[in-house]
Amino acid sequence: MNDKKENFHHLFIGDSKNLAVGQPLVPGKTQLPEGVYYHYGLEGHTLTICLDQPTQGETQSISLGKYKFALFEFTGMIFVLIQFEGMTWMDAPYHISINSPDPQNIPSQIEPGEAQLFTILLVDASSGVVEGIRFVSPSSEFTHALHEAIIRQVETPITQEKYDQVINFVYSRLTTQDMVAESLIQR
């Protein structure tokens, strides 16, 4: 999943209470770009995984399998990394000033030992239909590091042009596996 990612995060921000397996992620959208998209908002952490016609094995792994998180930072850009049992690592670039520009969406400090839930959405990119919804809890250490990284981003906003430049630079030099090897934290 190392292709340049366009900024489609706005597609995935909506009323998560109305999400259901078998229903479109975005009403009226019958196709979505393949990729992994991280969003932090008032509803919390969401990782949307859009795969073109996910296999039964991919659906089962993402919906029920073991998982690992890692966090990679490069010049203020965050890459949320995740691996599900039997699958390769995936990455989702993120900067709060581009992906969650609402100033109310700043994560709170968390206490040591405290973690937060992530909503994982599996979507068939070819149809736009939600294939799986899962709630996971990464380690407290990972959650704390992610929150700290997002808070640092608030202090250094970037433009869409800079966001694209950093993503292109990272993807031209590192694979997702390289990012995992150089990640700040793995849990």
Closest CA to 96 of 170, 48, 34, 45: 45
Confidence of residue 103 (pLDDT cuts 50, 70, 90): low
Query: 13 pLDDT exceeds 90?
Result: no
The residue that leads in pLDDT, 90 or 114, is 90
pLDDT mean over 79-104: 89
What would the DSSP string read from start to end of 45-58? EEEEEEESS--HHH
The residue that leads in pLDDT, 10 or 36, is 36
Query: 6 pLDDT exceeds 50?
Result: no
CA angle 136, 27, 164 (to 5 degrees): 65
Q: Could you count the other beta carbons within 10 Å of the beta carbon of residue 98?
A: 19
Q: What is the pLDDT of residue 37?
A: 94
